[in-house]
Amino acid sequence: MLHVWNLTKSYAGTDAPVPVLRGIDLTLDAGRTLALTGDSGSGKSTLLHLIGGLDTADEGAIAIDGVDITALGDRDRARLRRGTVGVVFQQFNLIPSLDVAANIAFQARLAGKPDAAWIATLTERLGLEPHQSKYPEQLSGGQQQRVAIGRTLAARPRLVLADEPMGNLDEESGAHVLSLMLELVSETGAALLVVTHSASLAGRMERRLHLRSGQIAP
């Protein structure tokens, strides 16, 4: 369901453009999981942002369910983020003025497909039922990450992207949240692409790609 061809991206440097991604090719089928690992600055987060339609590539193509998203304008990429792709951020990016229940339901409502039963299931499975009326600032890091996962999955995206999803959690909480995420993603049949430094997290994905200096390491 995800195809990436010859993806290239540079950022402006002081003298000349600094290449971040150099001709990336990858595929990911529906219901499968993939870990992208690599050192800091290897380009893994940039790749994730390009696939999520958060940024635009210099060259190459990204097809999600057969649609080349590099050809889409801002509004269509926004539509893609609302319904097809879901992103779990390292910093959670919850909306501080909404309570837990509203945060979880938020993306599904934004996409125009709120499913109350599914949201209730997610809330329960993520152990957030007792915290529904709390605000993000009143939650621990692990709880906030669970809300972020719930928010993403509530919209039933076809592709889930996660950027260092356990980066702000201790090992035990991280492992617990990861198990939950894998379980729920598998139930929705979505594909999961995780960017991580963590070898243990990467080890729990079906496939693993290592990025080095903007290229897939052999």
Partner 1 sequence: MIRPGLHALLSHWLRHPFQLVTLMLGLAAATALWSGVQAINAEARASYDAAEGTLSGNGRETLGPVEDGPLDMGLFVSLRRAGWQVSPVIEGQLDASSDALRIIGVDVFTLPPGDLPEAATERGGRSSFLEPPGELLVSPAAFEALRDAEGLPPRVAVEGIAAGVAYADLGTAQRLLDREGEIDRLIVTGPPSLTAPPLSKIAPELERRGPAGAGDIARLTDSFHLNLTAFGLLSFAVGLFIVRGAIGLAFEQRRGVFRTLRALGLDARTLLALLVGELLVLALVAGAIGVTIGYVIATLLLPDVAATLRGLYGADVEGALSLRPIWWLAGLGIAVLGTALAASGALWKIAHLPLLAPAQPRAWARASARAMRWQALAAAALLVIALLLGAFGGGLVAGFVMLGALLVGAALILPIVLDGVLSTLARFARNVLPQWFLADTRQQLPGLSLALMALLLALSANIGVGTMVNSFRATFTGWLDQRLASELYVTADTDAEARALRDWLATRTDAILPIRSVEADLAGAPGEVYGVADHPTYTENWPLIASDAGVWGRVAAGDAVLVNEQLARREDLWPGTTLNLPGWDAAPVAGVYSDYGNPLGQVLVGLDRFETLYPDAPDRQFGVRVAPERVDALRRELDEAFDLSAQAVTDQSEIKQFSLRVFERTFTVTAALNVLTLSVAALAILTSLLTLATMRQPQLAPVWALGLTRARLARFEIARAVLLAALTFAAAIPVGLVLAWVLLSVINVEAFGWKIPMQLFPRDWLWLGLLSLAAAILAALVPAIRLARMPPSDLLKVFANER
- The contact set with partner 1 (CB under 8 A) reads 49, 52, 54-55, 74-75, 78-83, 87, 89, 91, 93-98, 102, 106-107, 109-112, 135, 151, 168
Q: Please state, in angstroms and as integers, the Cα–Cα distance from residue 80 to each residue in 23, 54, 116, 132, 185, following that order.
A: 23, 10, 22, 28, 18
Return the bridge partners of 160, or none.
86, 192
- Please classify residue 96 by burial: count the beta carbons closer than 10 Å to its beta carbon, then call 0-12 exposed, 13-18 middle and 19+ buried: exposed
State in angstroms the smallest separation of the CB of 160 from partner 1.
Answer: 13
State in angstroms the smallest separation of the CB of 104 from partner 1.
Answer: 12
State in angstroms the smallest separation of the CB of 82 from partner 1.
Answer: 3
22 versus 79: smaller Cβ distance to partner 1:
79
State in angstroms the smallest separation of the CB of 60 from partner 1.
Answer: 18
Strand, coil or helix: 184:
helix
State in angstroms the smallest separation of the CB of 5 from partner 1.
Answer: 22
State in angstroms the smallest separation of the CB of 207 from partner 1.
Answer: 26
- Say how far apart CA 17 and CA 26 lie, in whole Å: 24
93 versus 179: smaller Cβ distance to partner 1:
93
- Please classify residue 50 by burial: count the beta carbons closer than 10 Å to its beta carbon, then call 0-12 exposed, 13-18 middle and 19+ buried: buried
Give the pairing of strands 85-88 and 33-38.
unpaired
Give the pairing of strands 159-163 and 191-195.
parallel
93 versus 200: smaller Cβ distance to partner 1:
93
- Please classify residue 128 by burial: count the beta carbons closer than 10 Å to its beta carbon, then call 0-12 exposed, 13-18 middle and 19+ buried: buried
Helices marked H in 59-99: 74-83
